[in-house]
Amino acid sequence: GAGVSQTPSNKVTEKGKYVELRCDPISGHTALYWYRQSLGQGPEFLIYFQGTGAADDSGLPNDRFFAVRPEGSVSTLKIQRTERGDSAVYLCASSLTGGQGRSEAFFGQGTRLTVV
Amino acid sequence: GEDVEQSLFLSVREGDSSVINCTYTDSSSTYLYWYKQEPGAGLQLLTYIFSNMDMKQDQRLTVLLNKKDKHLSLRIADTQTGDSAIYFCAEIPEANQAGTALIFGKGTTLSVSS
């Protein structure tokens, strides 16, 4: 596609529920990143995919968070047993090759998750 | 630990120059970045500088890097109302060998008045 697309743009869920956030990267981009941005903060790294595999998941805060990219294109971030502290904007980015130092990462507009 | 710090707000008049400052902690960072975030829009990469450079200029943007003081600045010449946004400084610390995890500051909100 023309840019990184994230759906839904907004998601409101009840505490304890399960949510899935979707990211469609730019076509042909092998690298995909997830970040989380809380109010008044900068984005915080969660996970990085190179192709289908998670090359770096060191930013996932706990085992309630999981992400997949089964065909090396679309990625889904999954959050189990959501907590109010999970409320944030979840950003997805993709780049042509891996390693953000070598290839510009393009960001989507994010999914605003609100846990009530 | 790794940390990137920025002042939170900057207010300037249209036509003036804006200077946004950033300090970082990892002296081994290879790349340092400036991103722009407008309301309802994704992060947009404005410019970046490699650690072996002191300065980089791109049209109205000038990036200055002082490695000794671990200080990075972004100067916007002839600031326009369309430049109003949040500006993020970011680094890739050497500890991240794959160069995957950008460490962002909290962002500087630039307000441009006409």
Q: What is the pLDDT along chain A (116 residues), one digit of tens a residue?
A: 589 999 999 999 999 999 999 999 999 999 999 999 999 899 999 999 999 999 889 999 999 999 999 999 999 999 999 999 999 999 999 988 766 556 788 999 999 999 99
Cβ atoms of A105 and A98 within 8 Å: the answer is no
Tell me whether residues A100 and B100 touch, CB distance under 8 A: yes
pLDDT for B76-94, tens place per residue? 999 999 999 999 999 877 6
Determine the residue of chain B that is closest to A40 in CA distance: B106
Tell me whether residues B98 and A58 touch, CB distance under 8 A: no
Give me the residues of A, 24-43, that contact B with CB < 8 A: 31, 33, 35, 40-43
Tell me whether residues A48 and B90 touch, CB distance under 8 A: no
Q: Which residues contact B39 (CB under 8 A, 6 or more apart)?
A: none
Closest partner CB to A42 (pick from B40, B42, B107): B107
